[in-house]
Structure 1
Amino acid sequence: MPSSLVDGNSLLAVDVGAATTRAVFFDVVEGEYRFVASGTAPSTAEAPFKDVSEGARSAIASLQGVLGRTLLDGARNLITPTQSNGSGVDSLVVTISAGPTIKAVVVGLLQDVSIESARRLTASTYTRVVDTIGLNDHRRPDEQIDSILRLRPDLVVITGGTDGGASRSIQKLLEPIGLASFLLPEEKRPSVLYAGNQKMEEEVKSLVGSLSASLHFTPNVRPSLETEDLDPAEREMAHMVVEIRKRQLKGVEALSLWSGGHMLPTAYATGRMVRFLAKVYGSSKGIL
């Protein structure tokens, strides 16, 4: 078994919270990863800094004092990889929970099937469902469009139809999404995640592809009425949340570059960690 599961040995993990930013240093000791030290600093998403990277730099600077090891250069940028003089770190991962609640609109066919799956999907990260559009929505299309224009969602999650199933009904639901996105200022258009009937992908691209901030596809969350599969959509949504944070918060882009794109929402990363530990320790031990 290799002594390291990542390139190099030392690993720095930074968590950017709403109030506190924490930097944690791990290194390989006797062939195993061990926690070495941590540093904290107030988060800086809000005034006067309004730049989350400043809080990360301060937390890393605090960690430097504990470690007695230089991690930041003279310009306060992270040194990677580890240098011959012992400064720097081999790898960085970042998690983030700072930022406003992400407003989501859920679109689906049946309230207790695809819409319910979409709601469970949005619950996996920092979102709040502000509107739901489905077959049982009695509003006229212009009323649905007005609602989207008023709410200005950050994210639209579209589900519905088993694979190879309903298509015309989904197309009808997509039209107000496309029209509302067209009427919004380009910088205010939502990101769209499509996790419905896979044979509809080309029509989805045609109706909303050029009118959204970004369009993402994942396998159907309801490939059949009896089957729900949220994992692929949760992974994709986690990356979409990071992209939304880049638009909302200064400094997120810089941290993403430092980490080589290894950035995830804290809630999703924590869920992955719990599932990993459950597999490692088996069902005989609980995870708290």
Structure 2
Amino acid sequence: MHTREEKLAAFGRLLDVQHRLRKECPWDRKQTFESLRPNTIEEVFELADALMKHDLHDVMKELGDVMEHVVFYSILGSEEKEFDIADVCNQEARKLMFRHPFIDWTGWPDDPKADLQETPDDAAGVEVTWEQIKQKEKDGNRTVLSGVPDSLPSLIKAYRIQDKARNVGFDWEKKEDVWDKVREELAELEAELKKEDKENSTRELGDFIFSVINAARLYHLNPDNALEHTNQKFIRRFNYVEEKSKEMGKALKDMTLGDMDELWNEAKNLEKK
């Protein structure tokens, strides 16, 4: 691994490269905050894919792409004389220091002070402390849920909403109690589906999914990761069915459901070996 000096030099090299691209590359010269946004979203999702696959080489590569966007936005900020990369780094460092008052920051620049000084003894305690301190920040979240980005994918957003509510005590007293709510929401969904009321069914479907996500959270399961594993499993098995159908000289649309189920079960059995 590299020394601290080597890491600082590498970051400086990235800054130099991006500054030069901004001046000399036709594509970079025309970019704005708004035009870069879709690319940034794509890069973050590519990083998320690499993390799910635990492909550490790709994780490294995608982290670089995300970091390049952070540097690029900072250059745009400096051009508007609003902020630069030093402001970004200092702001984040100060925020982290302020939210961890139980660590002795004496001697550090801008040594932060906070009212809450108790030292949490576990990760859950740190999360609760974190949410309480965020409410004290000068430019922090005005409400408990205001820190949840509007643009988050709905499944992840639901988990974050529930988790933030938990950090201020709004949660089930016993995790087992959540199953009554799940069953209640499922029954309400089934009732609306029988009525063929699409609007109410959509609303009840949302309530049911929200309750399942709540159950996953209470049992310390990440629903987004779980669903992505299932997505990948379905893709593998369906690809197997498609490949086998081609070997048999048949198009999928010409196969019976029974034929496809047989190939699907073959794929399942192969995964168990």
Give the TM-score of the pair, scaled to structure 2: 0.24
Bigger share in strand: 1
Greater share of helix residues, 1 or 2?
Answer: 2
Task: Say which one has the larger Rg.
Answer: 2
TM-score (norm 1): 0.23
